[in-house]
Amino acid sequence: MKVGVVTFPGSLDDVDAQRAVRLGGNEAVALWHGDHDLKGVDAVVLPGGFSYGDYLRCGAISRFSPVMTEVIEAAGRGMPVLGICNGFQVLCESHLLPGALIRNQRQKFLCLDQPLRIESNRTAWTSAYDEGQEVVIALKNGEGAFVADEETLDRLEGEGQVVARYLGENPNGSLRDIAGISNERGNVVGLMPHPEHSVEDLTGTGTDGLGFFTSLAAAVLA
């Protein structure tokens, strides 16, 4: 599969995401935030970083980038889209996912190896995992607390749209320990931890994040 990785001004993890895409058995295609062109890709990754310096709100300016017009339309047609950390924030600002990400409960940037439980393997990005599987994936954020109103939280829980949940101590104050969610269709996933930093034994936290990238081929071939 051809997987586009968008670079915004301030993206930090676009090259890491491209490498993870390749390790997952796919072709990585660099996409530029200022272009109205997805270059014929089959899926899109919005990487982590500080797009547009996180001015206004995290992801709020990126939501209006020309490439996001194409991403929003493609997601509506069913194209798989994964937003990681800042990319998760962009997805919420774009209304492709509900809720919002706010400052960590302790008002500090954090970086750690985070245990997670995969709550749903019924998305384009998580089919390689077992439901309930426990993994460890790198986490680094300053505004990673997922919030939504009670009605939205109940709907996410009831419809199986909670993709991953923090295990152990909640690192950032996310409501109901939510680390990642999907849309109803399951093609759009937002994840606060960084699976692209957990794809090799030599560096990072091991290979528990690789499944987010190997899942794609299985989802398309299914």
**How would you classify the pairing of strands 110-118 and 2-7?**
unpaired
Q: Tokens 């081929």 — which residue?
A: 217
Q: Give me the helices (H) in the chain, please.
A: 14-23, 66-76, 86-93, 150-158, 211-221
Interatomic CA distance for residues 167 and 53, integer angstroms? 30
User: Under a CB-based contact definition with an 8 Å cutoff, are residues 26 and 1 in contact?
Assistant: yes
Cα 178 to its chain centre, rounded Å, is 13
To the query of whether residue 85 is one of the catalytic residues in this protein, the response is: yes
Q: Which member of 70, 85, 93, 197 is catalytic?
A: 85
Active site residues: 85, 194, 196
